[in-house]
Amino acid sequence: MKRNWTPKQPGKITQDKAYVNVRLLDPASNFDMVCDSTGGLITRGEKVSEIGPKIFENGISDDIEVIDCLGHCLIPGLVDMRVQVREPGYEHKETIESVGLSATAGGVTTIVCLPNTKPIIADASQVEFLARRARKIGLTKIYPYAALTANLGGKKLTEIGLLAEAGAVAFTDGDKAIENAQVLRRALSYALTFDLLIVQHPEEPSLVPNGGMNAGETATRLGLPGIPREAEIIMIERDIRLVEMTGGKLHFAHISTSESVSVIRKAKEKGLRITCDTAPPYFALNDQTIGEYRTFAKLSPPLRSEDDRKAIIAGLKDGTIDAIASDHSPQDADSKRLPFTQAESGGVGLETLLSVSLDLHHNGNLSLLEVLEKITNRPAELLNLPAGKIEVGSAADLVIFDPDFGWQVKDTDLVSKSKNTPFDLRLVQGIVRRTIIDGRMVYKSEDE
């Protein structure tokens, strides 16, 4: 498989591009149309200019570059709302450039990064740094979360209003839960003034031992201390009460248990401003994946039971779970090549986000448009981002992919600087052929 990256360069795009012989899908507009050589999509400069099944029926002008999509799917660029970039401070695990290479190889044109860098994203200079670096590198677009509390300490709130003005799209303490209920209550009330979103990592810290895996039969067999499912459920139930008290907006990240789905479903039925996402490991894997102490399968939250996995799929199907995020958490080899209890949690996921999510379609759980909605326009809507849809005048952030192409995930083939994928050696279907950002092709993968 040949791969080629061409980072987006500044300057005006002088030639329009026509994408033909393509299946156009856009969940935001609920359209799914197959176009032959007489239809498709035109980009002019950095924007989409025309869409339709017959826009080329009178021929294509000689001054337009024609891109034959070979019957593959053309969709909006993926929007990943939970990524750890690691730069600045932890460049040995990932950098803005390496995350851009990894993202574009996976069809992700927009990412939102957690604030747990060094220094922490807690003032305007850090917010501006990330966007500026991403523009200079010219790969995927990066938007930052800002820290909700000073030093991610869970006690003193940051300057939410000022950070939002600087470009922070929402507020979170990343992979740390806001443990103090009064702090979260104040945050929800204060953020409501600016109509801003708070993102919570739902896990009661006092119930989380060093074991790092789900409490249950597998943990007992392996002799590992387990994290009870109740650690997630208790925090979600508490925080829902705080939303009822304040009227604020709260998003739960990477939910993983059946009770979490049930409780959030009931809260939504009440009309509370609550949303949530999950990540591919929680609908594609279970705690048996850990096998004989596989540290690549040590995640936070941990992989759960088979019943929980099925409940997450049901939550995606009925809309209780709004979005799918990669939860990309790169860890260097030294952090993972340790005894299970000492190894760091987390797995990379940008390059497998689309392919593993497509399992939901291939297995008949969701339609193709329903799957794509969870990784394009819905996360963009949650964070009010100008991304995740195809319409005239929108940014030409596009992905061409073959939904049926089968391949095997291999950690050694990943572009990410870190290789800690829980999906190593998994067979998947669906591969990105081209990634286009602002009308320019930045990634191309074709069979030799």
Backbone dihedral angles phi then psi of residue 175, each to the nearest 5 degrees: -90, 15
Binned at pLDDT 50, 70 and 90, residue 3 comes out as: confident
Q: In the numeric block, which tokens belong to residue 119?
A: 């220094």
DSSP structure string for 63-82: TEEEEE-TT-EEEEPEEEEE
Tally: H helices and E strands in the chain: 14, 20
CA angle 143, 144, 147 (to 5 degrees): 165
8: DSSP letter:
P
Q: pLDDT tens across 282-335, in order? A: 999 999 999 999 999 999 999 999 999 999 999 999 999 999 999 999 999 999
Q: In the numeric block, which tokens belong to residue 428?
A: 């998947």
Backbone dihedral angles phi then psi of residue 61, each to the nearest 5 degrees: -60, 145
Binned at pLDDT 50, 70 and 90, residue 447 comes out as: low
Q: What is the mean pLDDT of the chain?
A: 95
Q: What pLDDT does residue 7 have? A: 82
What average pLDDT does this structure show over 136-158?
96
Known catalytic residues? Answer: 327
Q: Which domains does the chain have, with CATH numbers?
A: 2-75+396-402+429-446 (2.30.40.10), 77-382 (3.20.20.140)
Residue 344 has pLDDT above 50, yes or no: yes
Length of the chain: 448
Question: Across the strands, what pairs with 143?
Answer: 112
Query: Helix, strand, or coil here: 443?
Result: strand
Rounded CA separation 304/213 (Å): 8
CA of 184: how far to CAs of 87, 172, 198, 277, 339, in Å? 27, 10, 9, 19, 35
Q: What pLDDT does residue 13 have? A: 78
Residue 360 has pLDDT above 90, yes or no: yes
Q: What pLDDT does residue 66 have? A: 95
Q: What pLDDT does residue 1 have? A: 66
Residue 111 has pLDDT above 50, yes or no: yes
Residue 2 has pLDDT above 80, yes or no: no
CA of 436: how far to CAs of 59, 98, 107, 248, in Å? 24, 17, 9, 36
Q: What pLDDT does residue 448 have? A: 43
Q: In the numeric block, which tokens belong to residue 202?
A: 């739902």
What average pLDDT does this structure show over 41-68?
93
What average pLDDT does this structure show over 62-69?
93
Residue 133 has pLDDT above 70, yes or no: yes
Torsion of CA 224, 230, 231, 236, to 10 degrees: 160
What average pLDDT does this structure show over 107-117?
97
DSSP structure string for 156-223: SB--HHHHHHHT---EE-TTS----HHHHHHHHHHHHHTTPEEEE----GGG--SS-EESSHHHHHHT
Q: Where are the alpha helices (DSSP H) in 200-343?
A: 217-222, 230-246, 258-269, 280-284, 306-317, 333-336
Name the pTM for this structure. 0.97
97: DSSP letter:
H
Q: pLDDT tens across 384-437, in order? A: 999 999 999 999 999 999 999 999 999 999 999 999 999 999 999 999 999 999
Q: In the numeric block, which tokens belong to residue 1?
A: 């498989």
